C-alpha cells in the first residue's frame, strides 16, 4: 500500500528546512560585530565589519553550486532524499562555527575555517530552498499553492525573531562581556539541533504524487537536457526578472539592518534586536497573505504591487531607521516588510511554477540561487560599502529603489502562472504543444 502524507506533516517537513535555512543566516548576520572582533581583529573596525560581511556573502556564492548539485539529485532521486541530506549539511555548517578557534588562537587559519563553514552552509541552503519549494508546490492543491508555500515561509523568517530573543536573553543572563567572550558560540551550536529535528520530521514522508507521475511519464530524461530543450532557459530568465527585489530587500532587513541600526544610527543593541524582531514577525505574517492573494487575483498583480510599494517606500523607510530612535527603527522596517511580504508571497510560488515538473528542481535551483547570490548575498556588503564611501546613511535606500523599479518593469514581461498545470507549466513539451495541456484556473 502506498504511503500517504497528511497535509500538516507535509507543511511541517517543509517548514523545518526553511526555519533552519534562515536560522543559520540570522545567527551569522546578528553576530557580525562579534565575529569581526574574533576573526578579523585590527584597529580599523569598519574594515573588520566589511570583511565579515564579505564572508557572509561567501555562502551566497556557493548557493548556485549547491542548488545545481542538489537540484539535479532532486529531479533524479526525489525531493525527499535531498531534503534529508541538506538539513544535515546545513546544521553541521552552523554548529561548526560555534566550535571554531579564533584568530587569537590559530591566526589566519581562523577566518579560513570560517569561510569553509559558510561554504558548507551555502551548499546546503542552495539545495534546501529548491527541494523544499518543489516538494510543497507539487504537494499543494492547485488553487492553494501560494498559501501553502507562504505558510512554510513563515518559518523561514521567524528564526530572526528567535535568534534576536536568544541573543538578548544570553546577554541579560550572563552579561555582555561573557557573551562577547564565549557565549556567542551557543546560538551556532543550537543550530546543530535543527538537523536532528529536521531528519525526524522528514524520515517517513512520501514524494508528491505530481512528481511520481512525472517520473513515470518521462523516465530516463536528463533534467539539464530538458531545461535547454523544453523552455527551461526562458523560465530561468523569468525567475531572474522577478526575484532580485525580494533578495535585496529581505537580506537588507535580515542581514544588514541590525548592524546599520547599531553602527550608523547609534541605537542600543537590544533595542535594535527587538525592532528587527518585530519587523521579521510582521514579514512572516505577510508572506502567506501575499501567497493567498496571488492565488486569488494572480501572481503578476501581487508582484507588481509589492515592487511598486518598495520603490516608493525605500527612502522614507531608511530615513526613519537612521533617526536612531526605537520607534523610527520599527516604523522604517515595517514600511519595508509590507512590500516584501506581499511581493515575496507571490514570487516564491511563481518561480517554481515557471518550470515543468521533470526539471523543476534543476531549473529553479540554477536561476533562483544565481539571483540570490548576485543580489541577496551581496546586498549587506553593498549597503555597508555605500554608507561608508558616500558618508550618507540613506545610500542603501537608493540601491533598493533602483532594484525595485527594475523588477517592477521586468514583471510586466513574465507569464502569469496562477493555476498553471505543473506537469507542463507555461512551456509545454514538444508532444504537448498541440494539446490543451496548459490552462489557467479562472
> Strand, helix or coil at 98?
coil
Query: What distance in Å separates the CA atoms of residue 38 and residue 48, rounded to the nearest whole number?
Result: 10
pLDDT of residue 191: 83
In terms of pTM, does the model score above 0.75?
Answer: yes
Task: Annotate 294-317 with DSSP letters as a single string.
Answer: HHHH-HHHHHHHHHHHHHHHHHHH
pLDDT of residue 10: 84
List Cα–Cα distances, 318 to 163, 215, 395, 412, in angstroms: 23, 48, 9, 27
Q: Is 38 left (phi over 0), alpha (psi -120 to 50) or beta?
A: alpha
pLDDT of residue 78: 87
DSSP state of 182: I
pLDDT of residue 412: 95
> Strand, helix or coil at 4?
coil
Query: What distance in Å separates the CA atoms of residue 372 and residue 133, rounded to the nearest whole number?
Result: 15
Contact present, 247 and 379 (Cβ < 8 Å)? yes
> Strand, helix or coil at 213?
helix
pLDDT of residue 219: 65
pLDDT of residue 2: 47
pLDDT of residue 430: 46
List Cα–Cα distances, 72 to 59, 225, 227, in angstroms: 20, 11, 11
Q: Which three cell numbers stand for residue 352?
A: 517554481
Report the chain (442 residues): mean pLDDT per 10 consecutive residues.
Answer: 68 81 76 78 66 72 84 88 85 86 83 85 83 90 93 82 81 81 85 79 83 76 69 89 92 82 87 88 93 96 97 94 92 96 96 91 87 80 83 87 96 93 69 43 38
pLDDT of residue 433: 44
> Strand, helix or coil at 20?
helix
pLDDT of residue 440: 42
Contact present, 24 and 191 (Cβ < 8 Å)? yes
Domains for the chain: give ranges and CATH numbers.
8-430 (1.20.1250.20)
Contacts of 197 (CB under 8 A, 6+ apart): 16
Amino acid at each position: 500500500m502506498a504511503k500517504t502524507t497528511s497535509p500538516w506533516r507535509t507543511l511541517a517537513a517543509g517548514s523545518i528546512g526553511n526555519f533552519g535555512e534562515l536560522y543559520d543566516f540570522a545567527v551569522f548576520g546578528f553576530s557580525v560585530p562579534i565575529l569581526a572582533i574574533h576573526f578579523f581583529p585590527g584597529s580599523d573596525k569598519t574594515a573588520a565589519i566589511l570583511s565579515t560581511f564579505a564572508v557572509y556573502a561567501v555562502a551566497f556564492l556557493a548557493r548556485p553550486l549547491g542548488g545545481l548539485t542538489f537540484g539535479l539529485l532532486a529531479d533524479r532521486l526525489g525531493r525527499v532524499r535531498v531534503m534529508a541530506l541538506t538539513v544535515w549539511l546545513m546544521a553541521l555548517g552552523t554548529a561548526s562555527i560555534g566550535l571554531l578557534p579564533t584568530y587569537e588562537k590559530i591566526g589566519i587559519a581562523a577566518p579560513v575555517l570560517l569561510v569553509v563553514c559558510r561554504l558548507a552552509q551555502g551548499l546546503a541552503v542552495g539545495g534546501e530552498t529548491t527541494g523544499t519549494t518543489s516538494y510543497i508546490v507539487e504537494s499543494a492543491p492547485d488553487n492553494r499553492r501560494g498559501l501553502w508555500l507562504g505558510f512554510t515561509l513563515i518559518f523561514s523568517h521567524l528564526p530572526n525573531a528567535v535568534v534576536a530573543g536568544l541573543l538578548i536573553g544570553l546577554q541579560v543572563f550572563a552579561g555582555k562581556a561573557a557573551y562577547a567572550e564565549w557565549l556567542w558560540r551557543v546560538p551556532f551550536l543550537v543550530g546543530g539541533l535543527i538537523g536532528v529535528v529536521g531528519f525526524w520530521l522528514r524520515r517517513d514522508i512520501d514524494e508528491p504524487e505530481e512528481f511520481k507521475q512525472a517520473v513515470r511519464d518521462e523516465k530516463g530524461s536528463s533534467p539539464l537536457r530538458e531545461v535547454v530543450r523544453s523552455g527551461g532557459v526562458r523560465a530561468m530568465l523569468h525567475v531572474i526578472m522577478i526575484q532580485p527585489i525580494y533578495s535585496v530587500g529581505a537580506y537588507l532587513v535580515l542581514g544588514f539592518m541590525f548592524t546599520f541600526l547599531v553602527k550608523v544610527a547609534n541605537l542600543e543593541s537590544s533595542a535594535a534586536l527587538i525592532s528587527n524582531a518585530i519587523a521579521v514577525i510582521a514579514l512572516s505574517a505577510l508572506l502567506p497573505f501575499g501567497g493567498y492573494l496571488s492565488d486569488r487575483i494572480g501572481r503578476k498583480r501581487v508582484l507588481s504591487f509589492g515592487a511598486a510599494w518598495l520603490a516608493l517606500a525605500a527612502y522614507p523607510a531608511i530615513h526613519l531607521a537612521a533617526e536612531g530612535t526605537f520607534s523610527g527603527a520599527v516604523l522604517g522596517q515595517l514600511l519595508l516588510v509590507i512590500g516584501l511580504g506581499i511581493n515575496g508571497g507571490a514570487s516564491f510560488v511563481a518561480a517554481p511554477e515557471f518550470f515543468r515538473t521533470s526539471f523543476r528542481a534543476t531549473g529553479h535551483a540554477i536561476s533562483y540561487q544565481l539571483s540570490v547570490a548576485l543580489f541577496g548575498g551581496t546586498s549587506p556588503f553593498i549597503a555597508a560599502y555605500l554608507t561608508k564611501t558616500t558618508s550618507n546613511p540613506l545610500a542603501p535606500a537608493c540601491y533598493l529603489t533602483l532594484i525595485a523599479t527594475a523588477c517592477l518593469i521586468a514583471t510586466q514581461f513574465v507569464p502569469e502562472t496562477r493555476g498553471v498545470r505543473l506537469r507542463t507549466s507555461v512551456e509545454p513539451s514538444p508532444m504537448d504543444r498541440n494539446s490543451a495541456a496548459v490552462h489557467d484556473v479562472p
